[in-house]
Each structure stands twice: as structure tokens, then as C-alpha cells.
């Protein structure tokens, strides 16, 4: 399975447009080489370099249908469900590291699942990760960098 973006390559800078310093909209993403048995996808975007030593969650999405091959810039397929990020909102929250920090890594992690998740609206990353345990067919990560 592959996850790419036409606006940044693996381990390169995320465009300012897709951060808190720009329009704060999600970058476009392209999904390919999906396992045949896939029923749905989970997409988690987080910053493992967050200040304070924890991981900061920027986007939590589940039940993306298996036939989705593209997530358009600033949009989400209607069938997908967004969970609560660490900004406390059910939406994409772009990279926003503290000024002066070294560049942070932003992990766009895609999981192909053999089920649709039965997870309550408004759930966070931990609930989604728990629900997908034992149902991951494949996974891939696209890493973007950003610093201020």
C-alpha cells in the first residue's frame, strides 16, 4: 500500500498552506496498491516530536471507504468519520510547532482494515486504535516536516 501527496514528498517539508501559519487545510493525499480485502481505512496524523515528550494528534479519521483513492485538499469524503484531535476539534489541525524548535515530523499514517469500525462519534485516537486491533491488513506512513 502507498500513501503519497502531490504537494510534498516523504520526509520533505509540508507546505505552509497546510499548517497553522497558512490556510490550515489538509494536504491532498493519494492512496494506491490497496489490499483486495480492504473494507475501510483509518487515517491518523500526529506529531511524535511534540513539546513535552508526548505525541500530539492532528487528525483522526475512520471508516474511509475502501474505494477511496484520493483525499482532496481541504476536503474529506462524506462517508468518513472524523474524531477529536488534540486541539479538541473534529477536523484537521495542521502542523504548528513552537517557534524556534527544530523541524517536527508529521506522520500521516494510513491503515487498511478488514472491517468498518463501530466507534462513537467524537472518539479520539486511542479509541480508534483499540477498535482496529486485529483488523489491520496493511499500513503505511507518509512523513512531512515543518518548523517555524
Q: pLDDT, tens digit, for every residue of 39-52?
A: 999 999 999 999 87
Q: How many CB atoms lie within 10 A of CB 2?
A: 12
> 120: which residues sit within 8 A by CB, 6+ positions away?
127
Reading the block at residue 118, the C-alpha cell is 463501530
Share of the chain above pLDDT 90, in %: 93
Range of the structural domain that residue 79 is part of: 2-146
Give me the pLDDT at residue 109, please: 98
Do the Cβ atoms of 33 and 139 come closer than 8 Å? no
The CATH number for 112's domain is: 3.90.280.10
Provide the whole-model pTM: 0.96
Total number of domains in the chain: 1
Q: Rounded to whole angstroms, how far apart are CA atoms 131 and 117?
A: 7
Amino acid at each position: 500500500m502507498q500513501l503519497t501527496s502531490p504537494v510534498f514528498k516523504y520526509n520533505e517539508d509540508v507546505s505552509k498552506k497546510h499548517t497553522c501559519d497558512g490556510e490550515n487545510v489538509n494536504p491532498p493525499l493519494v492512496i494506491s496498491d490497496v489490499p483486495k480485502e480492504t473494507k475501510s481505512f483509518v487515517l491518523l496524523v500526529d506529531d511524535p516530536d511534540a513539546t513535552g515528550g508526548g505525541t500530539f494528534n492532528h487528525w483522526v479519521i475512520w471508516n474511509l471507504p475502501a474505494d477511496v483513492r484520493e483525499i482532496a485538499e481541504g476536503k474529506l469524503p462524506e462517508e468518513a468519520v472524523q474524531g477529536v484531535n488534540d486541539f479538541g476539534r473534529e477536523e484537521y489541525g495542521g502542523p504548528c510547532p513552537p517557534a524556534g524548535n527544530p523541524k517536527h515530523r508529521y506522520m500521516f499514517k494510513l491503515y487498511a482494515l478488514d472491517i468498518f469500525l463501530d466507534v462513537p462519534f467524537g472518539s479520539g485516537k486511542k479509541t480508534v486504535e483499540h477498535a482496529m486491533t486485529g483488523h489491520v491488513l496493511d499500513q503505511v506512513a507518509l512523513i512531512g516536516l515543518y518548523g517555524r
